[in-house]
Amino acid sequence: MGRLADKVAIVTGAARGMGAAIARRFIEEGAWVTLTDVLPEVATTAAALGERADSKIHDVADETGWATLAESLITRHGRIDVLVNNAGILMFKDLLSTSAADLRRILDINVVGTFNGMRAVAPHMIRQHSGSIINNSSADGLHGANALSAYVASKFAVRGMTKVAALELGPHGVRVNSVHPGGINTPMANPQNLPSAQLDFAFKQFAAQRVGRPEEAAECFVFLASDESSYCMGSELAVDGGL
């Protein structure tokens, strides 16, 4: 039996990149996974993962859509064991170039989307007295970065919400933790799809001396989704190659 045998999971932003890698590893460890995304290719990604995967077109900023998604899993499986709030967007702009509209767009997906997801699944997990919510923050949510004012603000917010949710839901048997990836080669971070060897040069200041792979980040999510992390609550797990 796998480390996630028959656990029922939702992974948002799972059409490609880190979300797809997380979903793949969950299924390899025995979970049932619903992949969600606003990108239609999420259906193709799910189909390639076999019968334990299904997909939904879903905007995480849509609160009503979250309620529908959660109820559909309860109807189908009777429970929700894991939520990975992975969906997010990135915007490279310095502070003075960032408009209020830019900030609101980032917050709507990265913060409100995460907030909506936790609120949608938490009542079901409380009834079960079990569950794991994993919020994908960022290494930039730990220390900041130039030209990413809106993004960094959103990831610090995710980190803070995770701490509060862990305190509130922990007594009900629900664990809430955050993962802080940095330097991972995904379509969002590498939209030009440059070769890994070319990217490695830019990461020589990292302890790992190279760019990270989505599969490496996915292992952190497997750990936090599994019962192995039963004493992790409000934890901040960095997977950044020693940034």
Residues labelled catalytic: 151
For 49, residues 6+ apart whose C-beta sits below 8 A from its C-beta are 23, 24, 27, 33, 35
Q: Is 66 helix (H, G, I), strand (E, B) or coil?
A: helix
Can you tell me the distance from the alpha carbon of 134 to that of 87, in angstroms, rounded to the nearest whole number? 12
In a 13 Å sphere around the CA of 203, the CA atoms on its Cβ side amount to 21
Cα angle, residue 147 at apex, residues 241 and 209 outer, rounded to 5°? 20
As given in the structure block, the two tokens for residue 149 are: 């004012």
Go through the chain and tell me how many residues it has. Answer: 243
